[in-house]
Chain A
């Protein structure tokens, strides 16, 4: 009964969103009372949807296996936490959550933004239209409310064990909050284009929303990377898998967008870029939803194949993008600014940044789509792997960092003379070179790309440290958020370079109570025990590591067998030190009783996520500082 109520509420909310859309396009937007009315209808639509979602959570918690989706993805043995997270462990439920978040952003926007804002009514109308499109998709092609009649199964089929993990439980919600958060910027940009009054500063009102969404996207991607590292047992943080790439593209576009936004909200320069990027970020988020959910691309993370869903999503996203671009090009002539961008001003550097990010997005898109095109043309399956992405991303990132290095002291709308800051630049150059040469000397790095990356990463970090010093000593104001985020970028480059240079792995064959050595560590296989848990059996091995200085630690990797699906998973064991992770996975047992064990030394891997966290923190503090105090 409850599930029908939830189903009905979500249909009702679709109706209210459709009304919001119609009214916002039919009524006069300049009247603040009408804007108020539209916000109110929207908020009620959201409220109904939210209640329907809460009912769904309640159903999942109470093992309502008469609901088909819950029966397929949950199980009575699951801890309560995973009963809730099982909702977004597959297509229907995760789409549901995606839509709830989309409407949540709209609700917060309608609550916090004053009805005096001329763009508000239409922006809400556009958000509603998108909500209607996705809710119809949910209700017609992927209904999570479907029930099993007449008799409900006794127990559910269980959530996939690799998804029973705290990081993965919060990874999709965070990522979705990021993806759909850019709907505010998108809707405002389109509302601005439709309005036709160039004096309206839509850029100011969307900054806080876009930066918050960017923070969620950054954290979401980092969480996914961290989860893949310790759960999948491959020992890396990024695999250039198509599904990772479709998350990376909106992130790149969003990063370019928030940079461009800061220019356009100060002066009206780069307005066209900013509008185009806002359309791009949201389109890429929709494209991501299409790629992941259509089954068009084969990936470890994709959901089950369904051409009907893919076709719906592609047409809906396609229509939205084409319409937005049509409005954009119609209004383009009036947007062209007669002010020129001064060379060596901050704006000039940010436009270069936009171009580099655009190239990266284009290349990533090509890497995703090329196999599809190729197969269609030549009937030959191909895949594009890491070497391609490295060939593009490494030089582009280095180039972007060099421009960043030169832009640190650039001024808004004015050219700057290198002579004024050349001492700081020269010193950072010398220091970075010195450190790079020292590292090269002591660790015998021979790869030129690694050395160049290390050098540019250090260049960025040290340059910003000088900015901090200048602030502390001379009280020269600088933007603390920019400093923190860019030091994060420098750290990211350095840690990726060092990680790919130093990390190593080896598979060993070892008997219980046997010994082996790897990279100065003595490894002894001490113990093996069988543990019975509520929903799985586990084989737990204990390995004692000791180095020549007498430091000892124990690592206990596991192999688990889950009852309901009979699935086997590997749990890695990791010993974390500031510089490196010692990472061990348990393989198969051979006929002679010995075990295969894989040992990896992953250098600087923690620093990769730490850099992402630093960027996200910088973003959150910036968003916090932007909130209007009224």
Chain B
């Protein structure tokens, strides 16, 4: 093989290897940091590991909100199943019974320990996959 061709081959191989390795690292970082999104019925349908961070979307069940100091306990429902949520902190302004909410947290004995409670800054907001029923 001519020297020029050999050099070109090496360049191409090095490029492929580094970009392959880079992409692999990126995909790995991606895979280990995904938050899965569920509706309450899906949580009870699927077997979920307790220590995985998940997102749960639904409506805040009417008359389910109780408070204890800075703790707030409520239920998220998709009008088929509902799941209890515990959160320590301030819920968003748009949080109210009967309106849409998304909670990020860990499942612990069928109770969702919330890290974050989100309500969209739009009063027309519906959590995804609920917009058909209502």
Contacts and interface: CB of A to CB of B under 8 A. Distances in A.
Interface of A: 160, 162, 232-233, 298, 300, 304, 359, 362-363, 366-367, 370, 374, 380-385, 387-388, 391-392, 507-509, 559, 565, 567-570, 585, 587-588, 590-591, 596-598
B70 interface: yes
B116 to A, nearest CB: 9
B55 A383 contact: yes
Interface stretch (B27-35, B73-81, B106-114): B27-35
Interface in B94-122: 94, 104, 118, 120-122
Contacts of B27: 366
B11 interface: no
A585 B90 contact: yes
Contact of A381 (B93, B123, B128): B128
A385 B33 contact: yes
B33 A509 contact: no
B1 interface: no
A382 B37 contact: yes
Contact of A300 (B104, B120, B124): B120
Given A388-B30, A507-B89, A568-B93, A380 B123 contact: no
Nearest to B88: A507
B26 A366 contact: yes
A253 to B, nearest CB: 17
Point out which of B26, B94, B120 has the most chain A C-beta atoms below 10 A from its C-beta: B26
A328 B83 CA distance: 55
Interface string B4-45: 000000000000000000100011011001111110000000
Given A300-B121, A380-B36, A382-B37, A598 B89 contact: yes
Interface of B: 22, 26-27, 29-30, 33-38, 55, 67, 69-70, 88-91, 93-94, 104, 118, 120-124, 128-129
A364 to B, nearest CB: 10
Contacts of A232: 121
Nearest to A381: B37
Contacts of B35: 382-385
B30 A367 contact: yes
Contacts of A596: 70, 90
A300 B123 CA distance: 12
Given A298-B128, A384-B35, A596-B90, A509 B30 contact: no
Contacts of B33: 384-385, 387-388, 391
A509 B34 contact: no
A392 B122 CA distance: 31
B26 A568 contact: no
B34 A383 contact: yes
A179 B30 CA distance: 28
A385 B32 CA distance: 11
Contacts of B122: 160
A362 B128 CA distance: 27
Contacts of A591: 67
Contacts of A567: 93-94, 123
A590 B121 CA distance: 23
B45 to A, nearest CB: 12
Contacts of A298: 128
Nearest to A163: B121
A564 to B, nearest CB: 12
Contacts of B88: 507
Q: Which of A232, A374, A391, A597 has the most CB of B within 10 A?
A: A391
Given A380-B36, A382-B37, A509 B93 contact: no
Contacts of B118: 300
A443 to B, nearest CB: 25
Contact of B36 (A382, A387, A507, A587): A382
Contacts of B93: 559, 567-570
A392 B33 CA distance: 11
Nearest to B26: A363
A362 B34 contact: no
Contacts of B123: 565, 567
Contacts of B124: 304
Nearest to A508: B70
Closest 5 CB pairs of A and B: A381-B37, A587-B90, A388-B33, A507-B70, A391-B29
Given A383-B35, A384-B33, A391-B33, 5 more contacts: A300-B120, A370-B34, A388-B33, A507-B88, A598-B89
Contacts of A380: 36-37
A598 B35 CA distance: 26
22 contacts: A300-B118, A362-B26, A366-B26, A370-B34, A381-B37, A381-B55, A381-B128, A383-B35, A384-B35, A385-B33, A385-B35, A385-B104, A388-B29, A391-B29, A507-B90, A565-B123, A569-B93, A587-B90, A588-B67, A588-B90, A596-B70, A598-B89
Given A300-B120, A585-B90, A392 B29 contact: yes
Nearest to B22: A359
A94 B65 CA distance: 39
A385 to B, nearest CB: 5
A304 B27 CA distance: 31
Contacts of B91: 587-588
A382 B104 CA distance: 12
Given A300-B120, A383-B55, A508-B70, A598 B90 contact: yes
A267 to B, nearest CB: 22
Contacts of A569: 93
